[in-house]
Amino acid sequence: MVKRTRAAHRLISEGAEAKLYGARLFGIDAVLKHRARKEYRIAELDERLRLQRTRSEARMLYAASSAGANVPAVLFLGNDKIVMERIDGRMMSAITAGGWSMRTMRGSLRRLGAQLAILHNAGIAHGDFTPANILLGGSGKVYVIDFGLAETTGSAEDKAIDIILMKRSIPARAYAEFVRAYRAEYAQSGSVLARVSEIERRGRYQARTLLSA
Amino acid sequence: MAVLGIESSAHTLGVGVVEGGRVLSNEKSMYHMGPGGIIPAKAADLHADNVGPLVSAALKRAHISVRDISAIGYTKGPGLGPCLRVGQLAAETIAAHSGIPIIPVNHAVAHIEVTRSMFGARDPLVLYVSGGNSQILAITDSPFRHYHVYGETLDIGVGNMLDNFARAADLDPAWGSSVERLARGGRYIQMPYTVKGMDFTFTGLMTNASRLLGGRPSRDVAYSLQETCFSMLCEATERALFLTRKSEILLSGGVAQNSRLRAMLESIAQSHGIRAHAAPNSLNADNGAMIAVVAEKYQEKGFRFPSKARGIDQRYRIDTVEIGW
Ligand SMILES: Nc1ncnc2c1ncn2[C@@H]1O[C@H](COP(=O)(O)OP(=O)(O)O)[C@@H](O)[C@H]1O
Ligand SMILES: [Mg+2]
């Protein structure tokens, strides 16, 4: 009992927006995502952003899951807190931090492309589609987390930004594998990928140097 | 020996003299925008009239003559073509007379480097906020030592947005500083807030604020515009801070003169237990000394710029510039 209480308060991660704690709910291993107050911004704006994003994240997680994507199930929704199912996996960014092995990553990249295809097909743009928000399960299953910036959208531009964020974060060969699966699984991938090229031509993104490649 | 710097990328013409990183003089003259904003050809004409007298004034204020100058820097870009050309031409003319090297300088690098050297910040996370640009950067060594852009505006710079708003609100002068004054004591009105990861956009916010002007007290609109756009910049900066784990934040560029933005960055720094730095206003506004500071660094490291590497570049990206010191 004591042990469980301690585990329930364990800080898993602290990000720019939220703190994540280990939790248990209905006997299920869970994580609590709390968007704490930011002192730098005025209370009205701060509250609006935290509540809006918490509510929106829960809604988007639900929509993604209904569409068949691998995302954690929402167990409880509070004002500035979400309790969700804990995924037993490792962050893709942590796995590749020591270097890239295409041999071990190829399958995951294909499944990642397929996951993004499911989201985009359901009209969901993730908004922060980087390896830090991808968890790889032991079984090889690929999970997408952190829907704090996700939006329902019809715009090819929003979807293209998802692709560009991932492209900027992984080596070119890995990107090729990922995008091949995305193209195969998503009927409208053509217009999104055309928009990717267009955004890159516009200059802002294209001219950026790559950190990780 | 001293180094002269000429800045003329937009509405400000600045001439500064620097020696051993110390600012000996920093003179400027300004083009004042009408309701239509800046007209590049007119600003350039004014700069052309002023550049000669301003160089003399800067030398005089520094108590030196042109013979004491060992190099001359000018702003290569980014900026408005006609304005940039005035600075380059002036630099070429002075150099032709005295046979000293000419050094093209990136405007954004100058804004950041003048602050970085002032505080001796080795490896800071930078929030660069000027008229035409708004970026979050940090120095990276690969593939060459340069400022990597972690996030930036996907449309207009935050400074231009504030200037546009100042014009829409008939403020005089039509500058960001007038918006800051007007915003004092305002009340919050909800406005569009757009951050995408570490990038952000401002046009939606600007349109919304300008539209609200008729119906709402302009003080409330100005206040809410500032709070919203600065919160966007801060959120993106904090995200970059978590990603890069830098132990210093540096705020620079024209909008860094805004005391509300400075306070917000200070608050972020405090919550992370790190320091935030911003230079005095005279070095955050466009000025010639910052160009001289960077020119001197190039010179000390023996960089040479043949005439084909000079010229101007209206879209000169900061992440193409080698930071060779
Ligand atoms: N459902 C989950 N199961 C397991 N770990 C999670 C879960 N959600 C988040 N995490 C862990 O917490 C980290 C931060 O969560 P995230 O939702 O991405 O918050 P932030 O908005 O701070 O980035 C993730 O990178 C991951 O390691
Ligand atoms: Mg995340």
Binding-site residues on chain B for chain A (CB distance < 8 A): 140, 142-143, 146, 148-149, 152, 154, 188, 190, 193, 195-197, 227-228, 231, 234-235, 238-239, 241-242, 264-265, 267-268, 271, 315, 317, 319-320
Look at phi and psi of residue B229 and say left if phi exceeds 0, alpha if psi is from -120 to 50, else beta.
alpha
Tell me if chain B has a CB within 8 Å of the CB of A201.
no
With vertex at residue B301, the alpha carbon angle to CA B296 and CA B302, rounded to the nearest 5 degrees, is 95
- CATH architecture of the domain with range B123-281: 2-Layer Sandwich (3.30)
Q: Residue B283 corresponds to which tokens in the numbers above?
A: 């070095």
What percent of chain B stands above pLDDT 90?
Answer: 90
Give the number of other Cβ atoms within 10 Å of residue A99's Cβ.
6
Residue B236 has pLDDT above 50, yes or no: yes
Look at phi and psi of residue B171 and say left if phi exceeds 0, alpha if psi is from -120 to 50, else beta: beta
- Residue in this structure with the two tokens 């009209």, named with its chain if needed: A123
Average pLDDT of the residues in B35-46 = 90
CA-based torsion, B223, A16, B197, B107: positive or negative? positive
Q: What is the largest CA-CA distance in chain A?
A: 58
- Domain boundary assignment for chain B: 2-110+283-320, 123-281
Nearest ligand to the C-alpha atom of residue A145: 1
Tokens of B113: 């480097």
> How deeply is A15 buried, as exposed, middle or buried, from its count of CB atoms within 10 A (0-12, 13-18, 19+)?
middle
Same topology for domains B2-110+283-320 and B123-281, yes or no? yes
Each residue's pLDDT, cut to its tens digit, for chain A (213 residues) gives: 434 444 557 999 998 899 999 999 889 999 999 999 999 999 999 999 999 999 999 999 999 999 999 999 999 999 999 999 999 999 998 888 888 888 889 999 999 999 999 999 999 999 989 999 999 998 889 999 999 989 999 999 999 999 998 998 899 999 999 999 999 999 999 999 999 999 888 755 544 554 433
Cβ neighbours around A16 below 10 Å, total = 17
Measured between CA atoms, the residue of chain B closest to residue A127 is B196
CATH class of the domain defined by B2-110+283-320: alpha beta
Determine whether the interchain pair B149/A41 forms a contact, defined as Cβ–Cβ distance below 8 Å. Answer: no
Going from the Cα of A154 to the center of ligand 2, the distance in angstroms, rounded, reads 23
**List of chain A residues whose C-beta atoms are within 8 Å of the C-beta of residue B268:** 40
Active site residue A80: no
Rounded to the nearest integer, the mean pLDDT of chain B is 95
Those residues whose C-beta lies under 8 Å from the C-beta of residue A177, and which sit 6 or more positions away, are A102, A105, A106, A109, A110, A113
User: CA of A18: how far to CAs of A58, A161, B80, in Å?
Assistant: 14, 22, 41
Indicate the SS3 state at residue A43: helix
Residues 6+ apart with CB under 8 A from B105: B5, B73, B74, B75, B76, B291, B294, B295, B298
Q: What is the largest CA-CA distance in chain B?
A: 60
**Which residue, by CA, sits nearest to atom 16 of ligand 1?**
A146
Q: Which residues line ligand 1 (CB under 6 A)?
A: A 12-13, 15, 17-18, 20, 31, 33, 72, 84-87, 91, 132-133, 145-146, 148
Query: Which of the residues A29, A46, A128, A162 is marked catalytic?
Result: A128
Task: Please name which of B84, B79, B51, B63 lies closest in space to residue B19, comparing C-alpha atoms.
Answer: B63
Helix/strand/coil (H/E/C) assignment for every residue in chain B: CEEEEEECCCCEEEEEEEECCEEEEEEEEECCCECCECCHHHHHHHHHHHHHHHHHHHHHHCCCCHHHEEEEEEEEECCCHHHHHHHHHHHHHHHHHHCCCEEEEEHHHHHHHHHHHHHCCCCCEEEEECCCCEEEEEEECCCCCEEEEEEEECCCCHHHHHHHHHHHCCCCCCCHHHHHHHHCCCCCCCCCCCEECCEECCHHHHHHHHHHCCCCCHHHHHHHHHHHHHHHHHHHHHHHHHHHCCCEEEEECHHHHCHHHHHHHHHHHHHCCCEEEECCHHHHCCCHHHHHHHHHHHHHCCCCCCHHHCCCCCCCCHHHCCCCC
* DSSP reduced 3-state for A83: strand
Residue A100, both tokens = 């890239």
Rounded-to-integer distance, Cα B301 and Cα B248, Å: 26
Please state whether beta strands A89-91 and A134-137 pair in parallel, antiparallel, or not at all (unpaired).
Answer: antiparallel
Per-residue confidence (pLDDT) for residue A1, from 0 to 100: 40
How many other β-carbons are positioned within 10 Å of the β-carbon of residue B158? 29
As for the ipTM of the complex, it is 0.91
Protein residues within 5 Å, CB atom, of ion ligand 2: A 133, 146
Position B243 scores a pLDDT of: 86
pLDDT at B33 over 80: no
Atom of ligand 1 nearest to the CA of A91: 27
Within 105-144 of A, beta carbons closer than 8 Å to B belong to 127-128, 130
* Pick from B140, B149, B234: CB nearest A41: B234
Sign of CA dihedral B204, B210, B214, B220: positive
Determine the atom of ligand 1 nearest the C-alpha atom of A148. 21
Single-letter amino acid, residue A60 = M
| pLDDT for res A168 | 85
- Strands, sheet with A134-137, edge to edge from the N-terminal-most edge strand: A89-91, A134-137, A142-144
